[in-house]
């Protein structure tokens, strides 16, 4: 058990089968050799027989296998990796995104600015295991998803999940799940799982989770060719390490989100799932957020009517940064037009269109080489986009999941044409920072005036969940973003404006 976990408090959660703690820690039972999620419905073990681990990887490394009943590998991720800004949290975000599979532990350490030895020591000190064990647990989970949701041959599953050999794949499945790969498929696989070429997964979420609201928010920003919204399902193209993919997201019966994925290469499954989870804010802890914001007299009425409200993000912070600049000083319709032109001219085309989806969002290097005049940008805007994409391409600005958010904000501000509002928006919706305030946002100011509050309140009373307060205040100012309208969705009034951009924050600069 790591020092960060209190045995008595963890055991109370296990005794109460409290699902709020699923993903926060794992319960290992010495007498059975099994580890479970806190809400496991099995008989509560005696306190003297349990050990608690921060990660499933640590439990696996200690010799425990995953419970077949509660499936502890299928819980939402720990929200602390999104909240924290230290190197351990940054490493966990990168490992979840597949950095170890792509560049190995040396690449992971280099990205974080540490030696391999330093990074290993930090992770072991806090989590009990190093980066290889954490990546191995990630591979095991990806393998289980493929085994249970596809008819792929086991050899294809093994290499798609990132294993170096069939033997390594077989050994890992036996050690982690106490069964063979064919045993997993026989136990859970259902024939006819979706259309040919598509993987169908259920993405778990901590309750309460307003899937309809999150998807509506994303759908209101949909850019033709890149994204699609039909009123129920939000679809978009993902730019993944080994090629573009398409995902269709819709509310799951009961809770969570159903994701249907069409991948260029199966080895991108883990990265695709991680980016969808980040985009949908599925790993947040709504109880912790609502406890803080709901205790504030100004926000309490908003929180009570929208429990568990989430912060929809972008699957790619580089994309969000470019789209934020494209949306400056234009209406949402104009921003969507400009973005669609950029996608068509510089984006990576799909092998075949999927519905109205045709391209992935262009990477920074492609935008830097594109003729932005044909997109319709003004001279000032072209210079800003060019400077931004040049900095992203050169590595002067880092916006990947392992980025230092404070440093990212500072480097963005050094780009001519990017001010505090845009830099904050990239942190909020690009880097999924839970504690961001948007300075000078007139929609927020309008809501604050209506509530009798001020910017000073946000700077003090609403930490460390100011991003969620922003969403509540946006919902008050622009309700059409959060509530399905009876008439077709239209852009709200833009008669009030940000000092340099349109007022409606979510529909304009975060487009």
> Distance between CA atoms of 319 and 430, rounded to whole angstroms?
8
Residue 20 half-sphere exposure toward CB, CA atoms < 13 A: 14
Which of the residues 73, 316, 318, 441 is marked catalytic? Answer: 441
> Distance between CA atoms of 425 and 490, rounded to whole angstroms?
22
Beta-strand (E) ranges in 254-387? 257-262, 348-354, 357-360
- Relative to beta strand 243-251, strand 227-229 is unpaired
Torsion of CA 249, 40, 189, 244, to 10 degrees: 30
Which of the residues 10, 22, 36, 283 is marked catalytic? Answer: 36
- Per-residue CA distances from 394 to 68, 114, 210, 391 (Å): 47, 20, 39, 5
3-state SS of 441-467? CHHHHHHHHHHCCCHHHHHHCCCCCHH
> Distance between CA atoms of 185 and 150, rounded to whole angstroms?
9
Is 457 a residue of the active site? Answer: no
Q: Is 255 exposed, middle or buried (0-12, 13-18, 19+ CB in 10 A)?
A: middle
Is 156 a residue of the active site? Answer: no
Q: What angle do CA 492, 497, 503 make, to 5 degrees?
A: 45
Residues serving a catalytic function are 36, 441
């Amino acid at each position: 058990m790591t020092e960060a976990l209190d045995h008595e408090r963890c055991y109370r959660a296990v005794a109460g089968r409290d699902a709020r703690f699923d993903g926060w820690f794992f319960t290992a039972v010495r007498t059975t050799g099994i580890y479970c999620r806190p809400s496991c419905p099995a008989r509560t073990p005696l306190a003297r027989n349990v050990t608690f681990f921060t990660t499933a990887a640590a439990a696996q490394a200690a010799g425990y296998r995953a419970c077949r009943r509660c499936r502890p590998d299928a819980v939402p991720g720990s929200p602390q990796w999104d909240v924290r800004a230290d190197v351990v949290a940054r490493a966990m975000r990168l490992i979840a995104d597949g950095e170890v599979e792509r560049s190995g532990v040396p690449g992971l350490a280099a990205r974080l600015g540490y030696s391999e030895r330093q990074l290993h020591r930090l992770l072991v000190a806090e989590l009990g295991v190093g980066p290889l064990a954490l990546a191995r647990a990630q591979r095991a989970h990806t393998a289980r998803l493929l085994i249970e949701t596809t008819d792929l041959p086991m050899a294809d599953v093994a290499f798609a999940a990132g294993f170096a050999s069939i033997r390594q794949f077989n050994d890992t499945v036996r050690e982690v799940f106490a069964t063979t790969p064919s045993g997993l498929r026989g136990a859970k696989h259902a024939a006819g799982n979706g259309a040919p070429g598509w993987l169908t997964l259920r993405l778990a979420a901590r309750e309460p989770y307003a899937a309809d609201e999150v998807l509506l928010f994303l759908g209101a920003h949909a850019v033709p060719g890149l994204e699609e919204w039909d009123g129920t399902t939000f679809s978009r193209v993902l730019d993944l390490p080994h090629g573009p993919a398409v995902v269709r997201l819709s509310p799951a019966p009961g809770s969570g989100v159903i994701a249907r994925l069409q991948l260029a290469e199966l080895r991108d499954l883990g990265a695709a799932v991680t980016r969808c989870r980040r985009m949908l804010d599925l790993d947040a802890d709504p109880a912790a957020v609502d406890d803080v914001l709901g205790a504030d007299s100004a926000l309490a009425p908003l929180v009570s009517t929208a429990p568990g409200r989430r912060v929809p993000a972008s699957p790619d912070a580089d994309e969000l940064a470019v789209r934020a600049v494209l949306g400056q000083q234009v209406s949402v319709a104009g921003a969507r037009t400009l973005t669609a032109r950029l996608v068509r001219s510089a984006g990576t085309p799909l092998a075949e269109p999927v519905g109205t989806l045709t391209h992935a969002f262009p990477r920074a290097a492609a935008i830097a080489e594109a003729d932005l005049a044909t997109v319709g940008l003004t001279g000032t805007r072209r210079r800003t986009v060019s400077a931004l994409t040049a900095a992203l391409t050169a590595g002067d600005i880092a916006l990947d999941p392992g980025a230092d958010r404070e440093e990212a904000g500072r480097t963005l501000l050094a780009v001519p044409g990017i001010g505090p509002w845009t830099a904050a928006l990239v942190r909020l919706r690009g880097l999924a920072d839970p504690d961001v305030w948007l300075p000078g946002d007139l929609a927020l100011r309008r809501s604050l005036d209506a509530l009798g509050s001020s910017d000073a309140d946000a700077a003090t009373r609403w930490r460390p969940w100011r991003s969620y307060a922003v969403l509540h205040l946006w919902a008050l100012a622009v309700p059409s973003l959060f509530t399905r309208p009876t008439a077709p969705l239209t852009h709200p009034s833009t008669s009030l404006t940000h000092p340099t951009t349109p007022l409606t924050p979510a529909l304009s600069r975060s487009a």
